[in-house]
Structure 1
Amino acid sequence: NSSVKQAQKDGAGIDAISAGLSVSVVKNALYKVIRAHSPDDLGQHIVVQGGTFLNDAILRSFEQEIGRDVTRPAISGLMGAYGAALHAKDNRRDTTTLIGTDILAGFEHNVRSTRCGLCENHCNLTINDFGGGRRFISGNRCERPLGGTKKADLPNLYKWKLEKLKSYGEPSGIANPIAKIGLPFGLNNFELLPFWTAFLRKLGFETVLSDVSTRDMYMQGQHSIPSDTVCYPAKLMHGHIENLLEKGVDAIFYPCMTYNLDEERATNHYNCPVVAYYPELLKANVSALADFDFMMPYFELADKKHFTKHAVKYFCGKYPQIKKKQVIAAVEDAYMAQDEYYIDVRIEGQRAIRYADEHDLDVAVIAGRPYHVDPEINHGIDQLIASFGLVIVSEDAVWQLTDAPEVHVLNQWTYHSRMYGAAKYVTQKENAQLIQLVSFGCGIDAITTDEMRAICENGGKIYTQLKIDEISNLGAAKIRIRSMLAAVEEGRKLAEQQNA
């Protein structure tokens, strides 16, 4: 969707876009799903099936990509249905739960729409009533509308972290603050809110946090997004800036940061280039910032001494009433607050894992980036996973519990090294499963896919990746999670049989 929008902006015609989509579908299937290295991997005589191949352009794209003619049966779109029917016929039981003709004579079907109020997602539900108490609900991001409330209330570190981070936006009660400074609640601020709120408040500023992301907030800032191919978390930042301006802040503080904090698990500790310099893009594209105090100094936090020097120069120069010793004291408070946050996350993670162990439950380690805690970005995936009876833990709660795994790429990103550590942790814990979240358009996360898969599979675990963007339909995610759980259960039964 994002690529199509960008192609339209670049002047591509419908014919070129349609052809590109057809080629994209074929290449995605061949090289990302089947992972074929050459046409020989597919064989010499190829038959295709499925409704997708009823599209002549996709059929021809497939033939051109592999350099061979293929056979498409006239019933290709129905072959899966016929296969399911044959399978059911071969495995039929003596009795059936299908309704009979007598019930069909009085069959009724009514559809109504409603909004769920069981959690903050407020999902739009479509309820199909078939009479006799039979109904089917769709549109739900979790299993709560289906009666899965208890499962959905299991320990969930994603939910806990969101509430913890929101608490940093509570009023500080500073008397006569120097200024009211806004902090956008997005991207790397999902990691560094403890640091910046402690630092700015110690200097005498009142800090104001933008609201938690929503679809309406995204639409509010959409007019200033220069590229549709950037990831959704970055697009949301435009809405957060507009939200802070509406709150009447005196200034917005959003520094550029080439480097992340150094956790000494990688050869370097870079930030994603988008995260590192997105303040520059916001300043250039959000017209309301042209005459506004948008503070975007270049700061690096990995070197405490270096950061202190630059912070003194910036804040003492901009605000003469702030003295050097105040900045030094604020730096100490900031690093302490950040360390306390990390400790709290790990303690809460261990509490969740103990709960899972004591109640014979599986742990889902969701490995992603700090901003994947944002409910508008993850679309409630954490609650969907929890509704299947899994305890949710994030990668930053477990990566340090194991030695750094060997990887075959240049490991120079802080968050990547965390995910590799989390994947290795999962291989060492029998009741833990890994699910990686990737935001569509994240180029550097493409590096992690094969490494995460290799770490998991070499340790006897299943690798599951969920790719997400601004589209909130979680149907595919639900299928993938169910498939993962079914495969895990099948593997356990097989192991029990072998042991017996």
Structure 2
Amino acid sequence: MTLLTFPKLFAKPRSAEVVRPERKLRIGIPRVLNMWSTHRFWTTFFVELGVNRRSVVYSSETSEARQREFGQGRAAVDCCYPVKCMTGHYGELLHGLKKPINVLFSPKITTLPSILQGEVRNTMSCPRVLAGAESTKAGFLREGNAFADAGVIYVDPVVHLDEPKLAARELFEALDPVLEDLTPEEVEAAIEAGFAALEEFDTSLRKQSLNVLRNCAADSRPAVLALGRPYHMDPGIGHGIATELQEAGYPVLWGQYLPLEEDLLDWLYRDLLSAGRIRTPFDISDIWPSSHSSNTNELLWAARYASLMPWIACVIRFSSYECGMDQPTYTPVQETVEALGTLFFAFQDLDATNPAGSVRIRVETIDYYLKRRAQKIIEQKLAALDTPPESFSNLGSIKDAAQ
């Protein structure tokens, strides 16, 4: 059982051999914020527009060294640590690459595609995340135009990623001055290909998560679920906590990539559906009626999933600072996770001042409680469910043993 190592997943996707116009530009994209969950869309989008896949480049993972080298003196006054870290990514793309870029592309993603589409009020990005490109750009215009000095065109369109037709218009208007002979039809086709690639990417990770849970079931061992925003997959933002837990022997799943097999969801949510508490397995209206924020919605949904899934014995909650959007979710997330006895731990205020020693102590504490209580948690949660679905192998005997 292995940890999903998200930095490696920024690798370029394979694509079919098709004839497309060649555009000899290097596109630099900061590896920040919601780019951690949408990067496969953007890579495919630009490749479909004729940019060589090797010429779609991302900045490195977040680190204090990168921030000091490339972002010093540029950071805007902002309480959001992940937004402040954007200056290091911009600076690296402008000054830290062996081969310079022609375009720095930093979309202001307003809304996001979501598995909860149709079950929630909206799928909006956090306002601070949305404005992050603006505040970061200001730091590079404070003492002259750093983009122009580097010979780089800066492109930061507002993009509604949950509305493909609107996104096509927004991206065409932003890129028409940059990409020669661009047509609306090309952009629409590239968006369609981008969404197909993103869906394939997400599905592959969900299958990996399913295999992890199958292995946990076969061995009757616990897994840990990480709940956070997409940027917490960045080791520099998430402080490598997931890796520490993996090294302690616990497979780590992420709330963004939980398996969605129909028989599995029916097994987990059957009682809630029968009682009329929810309409579908993706309905969170009974625990989170104020469902406007995409990341928050999915965080609440994953919290309930973890509370029901027997082999998720522990949930860790990430927060980078006292985020205004996250504040109202702390209690309902914890109460939801702990409803059937699942362990819950929160790592709050994860910023540059958080020492590695304190993280290690917390991981040791999680390890201690999992060793003492994981098997009982698995048995209790199995006892509350019917016979496991066919997508899991040899689980009937496990449930019988638990009872």
Query: Cα offset for 1:188?
Result: 1.3
After superposition, the Cα gap between the structure-2 partners of 1:212 and 1:484, relative to the gap in structure 1 and judged at 3 Å, is closer
2:289 counterpart of 1:289:
no
2:85 counterpart of 1:236:
yes
Q: 1:165, 1:420 → 2: CA distance?
A: 26
After superposition, the Cα gap between the structure-2 partners of 1:290 and 1:491, relative to the gap in structure 1 and judged at 3 Å, is same
Residue 133 of structure 2: which of 279, 299, 312 is its match? 279
SS of the residue aligned with 1:416? helix
CA contact (8 A) 1:168 1:193 kept: no
Count of paired positions? 340
Structure 1 residues not aligned, in runs of 5+: 1-153
Residue of structure 2 equivalent to 1:252: 104
More displaced, 371-380 or 259-268?
Answer: 259-268
SS of the residue aligned with 2:223? strand
Residue 353 of structure 2: which of 471, 478, 489 is its match? 471
SS of the residue aligned with 1:223? coil
CA contact (8 A) 1:345 1:396 kept: no
Residue of structure 1 equivalent to 2:57: 208
CA contact (8 A) 1:260 1:302 kept: yes
- TM-score, normalised to structure 1's length? 0.62
Structure of higher CA gyration radius: 1
Residue of structure 1 equivalent to 2:304: 424
Query: Cα offset for 1:393?
Result: 0.6
Residue of structure 2 equivalent to 1:188: 34
CA contact (8 A) 1:398 1:421 kept: no
Q: Any runs of at least 4 consecutive aligned residues in structure 1 with deviations exceeding 6 A, and if so which?
A: 492-496
CA contact (8 A) 2:3 2:252 kept: yes
Residue of structure 1 equivalent to 2:7: 162
Residue 261 of structure 1: which of 106, 113, 117 is its match? 113
2:43 counterpart of 1:197:
yes
Q: 1:382, 1:165 → 2: CA distance?
A: 18
Residue of structure 2 equivalent to 1:362: 222
Percent identical residues: 23
Q: 1:197, 1:494 → 2: CA distance?
A: 44
Q: 1:408, 1:310 → 2: CA distance?
A: 31
After superposition, the Cα gap between the structure-2 partners of 1:439 and 1:399, relative to the gap in structure 1 and judged at 3 Å, is farther
SS of the residue aligned with 2:290? coil
- State the one-letter code of the partner of 1:197: T
More displaced, 445-454 or 204-213?
Answer: 204-213
Query: Cα offset for 1:242?
Result: 0.9
Residue 178 of structure 1: which of 19, 24, 31 is its match? 24
Residue 192 of structure 2: which of 324, 332, 335 is its match? 332
2:75 counterpart of 1:225:
yes
Residue of structure 1 equivalent to 2:335: 454
Higher relative contact order, chain-length normalized (CA < 8 Å, sep 6+):
2
Q: 1:383, 1:241 → 2: CA distance?
A: 26
Residue 236 of structure 2: which of 366, 370, 376 is its match? 376
SS of the residue aligned with 1:364? strand
What do the CA deviations read for 1:189-226 (whole angstroms, capped 9, x no partner)? 11111111111111122312112222211112031112
Query: Cα offset for 1:261?
Result: 2.0
CA contact (8 A) 1:399 1:419 kept: no
RMSD of the alignment, in Å? 2.8
What do the CA deviations read for 1:397-417 (whole angstroms, capped 9, x no partner)? 227545234325512111112
